[in-house]
Amino acid sequence: MTDNKNKSDQRKATLDDLNTRLNAAREANRPKQQGGLNEATTYGIATRLVAELIAGLLIGVLVGWYLDQFFGTKPWLMILFIIIGSAAGIMNVMRAAKQLVPKQPHDEDDE
């Protein structure tokens, strides 16, 4: 009878040890939360900001060219609208970049 109890205690100890190692392995393989941006999102953000800038400039050029053609004031309105379009593009980039800033400051020590 004591032999069966010994075997039972050994099995219980072995299973407890296995359970402990299994939990440690699960913890080690759990995906970690990233505090920063990965390469894909950084590329997407950069592409968006460049598109905002180019869109403002391109619209300024097209509106200026069309108005120059309509009023016959080549190149003055195009120059004026290039400046306005550039300013609008820069303001859009600044607005978009401000939206990307996290609301709460990130502390490196929290990780």
Report mean pLDDT in 10-residue bins for the chain, 111 residues. Answer: 78 90 88 67 89 95 96 94 96 90 64 51
Number of domains in the chain: 1
The dihedrals phi and psi of 69, each to the nearest 5 degrees, come to -65, -40
Structure tokens at 85: 């379009």
User: Is 19 within the bounds of a domain?
Assistant: no
What is the rounded CA–CA span in Å between residue 70 and residue 47?
34
Predicted confidence at residue 8, as pLDDT, reads 85
Predicted confidence at residue 108, as pLDDT, reads 57
User: Is 59 within the bounds of a domain?
Assistant: yes
User: Is 91 within the bounds of a domain?
Assistant: yes
Which residues constitute the domain of residue 79?
39-102
Length of the chain: 111
Predicted confidence at residue 30, as pLDDT, reads 81
Predicted confidence at residue 6, as pLDDT, reads 83
